[in-house]
Amino acid sequence: MQHRHQAPRRPQNAYDLDELTGSYDSRRDPYAGDLDKPKGFWGFRLAKRAATSTVVIMSLIVVLVLVVVANVNFGKGKPPPGAADISTNELMQELSGYQMDPVVAGAEANAKRRAYEKEVAAEKAAAKKAKAKAAALKKKREWEALKARMSHDPSAAENQQYAKKMSALKGWGGCWSSLLTMWNHESGWNEHAENPGSGAYGIPQALPGSKMASAGADWRNNAMTQIAWGLAYVGSRYGDPCKAWGFWQAHNWY
């Protein structure tokens, strides 16, 4: 086996003279620093380097995560397109100068006016409809109450009051006294009055009484039905109660 030629190593104390004379060069001394290096020195340096590298890597990872989080948009506070580099004050100043075309503004105003007028009209129509419905319901209830009262033995005064209103509605207000006197003679305003000789029946003394069925099936007991039939007969035969009373005075019947 051949061995490489190696320069003979000088003993460590061979350099003592050089140190004393000032000609010592540690770069030429293979033993330089051996006494200063603690045991396990190289392992310590490797561990230090590894730790330093880990810190650097972790620092880079943390910085990268912060950058990613800062640029992720969670759907809140997203600036308008093109405004990423504009500050809030600059954006407000820019928007404060926004102008609208007068034609566009006029169209918007007209649209609002029409919508308001339509809403008001709908509210008025609804109120009018509700008022009319309430009035109709009131009249219906009043009519039903009156009809119920007039069909259960009303007094002569109640019959007269109803006939007076009905006569006025026909335009015969001035002939009320004639009608009052004529039916006083005929029946005394009793809806059950019956002439035993002729068979005439009711307030107007219809002959026969069944004729009043044309005004209502309850003609026998309802004074309203009898008065309606009697006024219709007076109007058709004589024109009004005044003329009918004049005829009655001359003939004692009408």
201-222 tens-digit pLDDT: 999 999 999 999 999 999 999 9
Choice between 80 and 100, residue whose per-residue pLDDT is larger: 100
Question: Mean pLDDT for the chain?
Answer: 80
Percent of the chain with pLDDT over 90: 52
CB atoms within 10 A of CB 6: 6
Instruction: Indicate if the pLDDT at residue 29 is higher than 90.
Output: no
d(CA 195, CA 206): 10
Six token digits for residue 151 = 């069909």
193 DSSP assignment: -
This prediction has a pTM of: 0.50
Give the chain's length. Answer: 254
31-57 pLDDT, tens per residue?
Answer: 555 445 454 444 555 555 655 566 556
Mean pLDDT of 135-150: 86
Assign residue 130 a region: left if phi > 0, alpha if psi is -120 to 50, beta otherwise? Answer: alpha
Backbone dihedral region for residue 74 (phi beyond 0: left; psi -120 to 50: alpha; all else: beta): alpha
* pLDDT for the residue 148: 80
Spans of all domains in the chain:
156-251
* Cβ atoms of residues 24 and 18 within 8 Å: yes
